[in-house]
Chain A
Amino acid sequence: DQQVKQNSPSLSVQEGRISILNCDYTNSMFDYFLWYKKYPAEGPTFLISISSIKDKNEDGRFTVFLNKSAKHLSLHIVPSQPGDSAVYFCAASERRSSGTYKYIFGTGTRLKVLA
């Protein structure tokens, strides 16, 4: 049962345009969401996050939007650059019974920005 879903395996966008990556989740108890970016042969690196008490968080060209009623979040990249070409993972944070938190990762979306 996939609690965090990224339904688009891939996305191509022209340089300078907006990239929108989507993520859906099923567990209303998730209270923190993150986006990670992964280049080939490297580990994922943290990009941006949002708490469930907010609906938007912005960091330079990257903005994450959270719609709790729809259980949906999206990552906007404006303007897109060729260096943004990577796989993007959405992750949600879930509290364990021990009190620590674990991440549930989506399957990733491969973004290709065309020059």
Chain B
Amino acid sequence: NAGVTQTPKFRILKIGQSMTLQCAQDMNHNYMYWYRQDPGMGLKLIYYSVGAGITDKGEVPNGYNVSRSTTEDFPLRLELAAPSQTSVYFCASSYTGGTYNEQFFGPGTRLTVL
């Protein structure tokens, strides 16, 4: 099992550009998540999905969009990149969404917006 994979590892964007961060998991997990981690801060939830076709907002969704057309993939879209979106982005998945939902994380995408 590859677990949770993310591409790209690094990216530099100019203000106003758009891009899609890719995330895939091969564990047949229903739940998937996107977090961002700013320097010196904890992980903040951007969006999550409880299954294919179902997504919902997390704590910091503004400036982002997601889709979940398959169980395996959960891409994150930035439409108009802003310097405030400079961060490290982590995708995660879990089998359930209950209390005991251990989340498995990908290696992260480091994004810089200049």
Contacts and interface: CB of A to CB of B under 8 A. Distances in A.
B78 interface: no
B107 interface: yes
Interface residues of B, number: 26
Contacts, number: 59
Given A43-B90, A43-B92, A44-B90, A101 B107 contact: no
Nearest to A4: B42
Contact of B101 (A4, A101, A104): A101
Nearest to A41: B107
A69 interface: no
B102 interface: yes
Given A31-B99, A100-B97, A45 B105 contact: yes
13 contacts: A34-B102, A43-B105, A44-B105, A45-B105, A46-B102, A46-B104, A93-B101, A102-B58, A103-B43, A103-B45, A104-B42, A106-B42, A107-B41
